[in-house]
A and B are shown apart, each in its own frame.
Chain A
Amino acid sequence: MLLNQFLLLAAVLFAIGVYGVLTRKNGVLVLMSIELILNSVNINLVAFGTFNADVSGQVFALFIIAVAAAEVGVGLAIVLLIYRNRRSIDVSEADMLKG
């Protein structure tokens, strides 16, 4: 059973996703990077599930797909709200509140 390839692919996707979240300034691109991380998780889960001959990994992946769609729906709605009020979706410009 080839498990390593899938895990490596997932690890690479995860790393690219984290890199994107940390460096991108555009709200939509940050969301896309998070999507990459979630997909790397799905690859992990399905690979492990098949490796262990256990179906719960695939079930978990299904739930992640559905929840990710909800997250992106809400995320895009908020990004669009900001675009309407501000005409920009640059995350680094959202700085009225100083942590």
Chain B
Amino acid sequence: MYSDFLRDYLIVVFFGILAFAVVGAFIGLASLVRPDRPSEAKNTAYESGVDPVDGGWSQSQIRYYIFALLFVMFDVEAVFIFPWATRLEEYGMFGLVEMTIFIFILALGLGYAWRKGVLRWV
């Protein structure tokens, strides 16, 4: 059993080696024939011909993060709604009431965020 298991992985290893070898060979061949004259201008970021300003790293506005957090919360809670939705008819009234309570509690959270002014774009 273990030898089968290892043999499966041997294929993966060969495949990996092959991939590296092929890519390495192509790049190596290309570097033999291409001209090599590095300069400062060639290393700058390409921005449609305009000279780039500042560095490549920029910080996002901190006010995005509350929206991101709220989105993640409510998005992930949907994970409980999908299994219910696939067998909606079978769960019938019982499932509907359960899901209404669940969504009511989620809505309380959203209402709270709205009331405390978190949803306003400042």
A and B in contact, CB less than 8 Å: yes
**Using a CB–CB distance below 8 Å, which chain A residues touch chain B?**
4-5, 62, 65-66, 69-70, 72-73, 76-77, 80, 84
Q: How far is the CB of B48 from chain A (nearest CB, A)?
A: 33
Residues of B near A80 (CB, < 8 A) are 62, 65
Q: Is the CB of A76 within 8 A of B65?
A: yes
| Chain A binding surface SS class | helix
The answer to whether A62 and B5 touch across the interface, beta carbons within 8 angstroms, is no
Asked if A76 contacts B80 (CB within 8 A), the reply is no
Among residues 92 to 121 in chain B, which have CB atoms less than 8 Å away from a CB atom of chain A?
none
Shortest CB distance B11–A (Å): 13
Tell me if B33 is interfacial: C-beta within 8 Å of chain A: no
User: Which B residues touch A62, using CB under 8 A?
Assistant: 79-80, 83
Chain B residues in contact with chain A, CB under 8 A?
5, 62, 65, 69, 72-73, 75-77, 79-80, 83
Chosen A-B contacts, 14 in total, with CB atoms closer than 8 Å, are A62-B79, A62-B80, A65-B79, A66-B76, A66-B77, A69-B72, A69-B75, A69-B76, A69-B77, A70-B73, A72-B72, A73-B72, A73-B73, A84-B62
Q: Chain B interface secondary structure, helix, strand, loop or mixed?
A: helix
Q: Which residues of B contact A76 (CB under 8 A)?
A: 65, 69
Chain B neighbourhood of A66, CB < 8 A: 76-77, 79-80
| Least distance between B59 CB and chain A CB atoms (Å) | 11
A34 to B60, CA, bound (A): 24
Shortest distance between the CB of B99 and any CB in chain A (Å): 15
> Closest residue of chain B to A73, judged by CB?
B69
Beyond A62-B79, A62-B83, A72-B72, 12 additional pairs, beta carbon < 8 A: A4-B5, A62-B80, A66-B79, A66-B80, A69-B72, A69-B73, A69-B75, A69-B76, A73-B72, A77-B69, A80-B62, A84-B62
